[in-house]
Amino acid sequence: MHVMERFSLAGRVAFVTGARRGLGKAFARALGEAGAKVAISSRDASQGEQAAAELRREGLEVMAVTGDVTSYDDVEAMAAAVESHLGPIDVLVNNAGIVEHKSTLEVSPDGWRSVLSVNLDGVWFCCQVVGKSMVARRRGSIVNIGSISGMVVNRPQWQPAYNASKAAVHQLTRSLAAEWAPCGVRANALALGYVSTDMSPAPTDPEQLRRWVEDVPMRKMATPEEVAPAVVYLASDASSFATGTVLVLDGGYTVV
């Protein structure tokens, strides 16, 4: 097999959560360009369909499903819809996530629960629901979107709930990898550094600019298009011997 053929996702079905914009949409586009049929999820039906339509205009086979990853019933319904329209899910990308920039003493019980519910429970529900089919078919690749915030503490923006949730995602990924490796199912995580999106543009505050950009050896924030190919790598046979890996893409931020 030619090396580039190992990156092909032709004939496979991918499901990306939280993909109506930003990183999720970039991941969906990359998976589609690699040959996969892609389903994207959103809590807003119209915005999800708008994103799917945009990707279809680019020549990709994309469908939108609507649901909340914090609801087990919604996750089951979304997975069933994807399988009904596209076929069994071969690639799961758990991208849906939220953040609350508050210091520890400012975080309310509801704020803590909200972040953990989306960032951790949502990943767990999707892994369990989709993983059941993958294990039964003895094939599949799960890519959980983690963060360098699961490895270091970001400053000066305090976000204890987010940091805790992403550290948990990394460890959950390792746990799934160890348990499901004999079943032909791989699980890896992508730990991203600072990425410039509509939700998280380059900062104008001098202190944040210093931390987010000047402290990065590459002296920049990434774009979604820069990091999306890593999802294709982890989803495809190019990474067939990788499981339990937390792949860091941060411009060198965590090495200094």
Catalytic residues: 162
Tokens of 3: 């090396």
- The strand pairing partners of 144, in sequence order, are 94, 189
State phi, psi for 131 to the nearest 5 degrees.
-60, -30
Please say whether the beta carbons of 40 and 48 come within 8 A. Answer: yes
Other residues' Cβ atoms within 10 Å of the Cβ of residue 222: 20
* Strand intervals (E) in the chain: 13-16, 37-42, 62-66, 91-94, 140-147, 185-192, 246-249
Residues contacting residue 203 through CB under 8 Å, at least 6 positions apart: 209, 212, 213
Distances (CA, A) of 109 to 113, 164, 177: 6, 14, 31
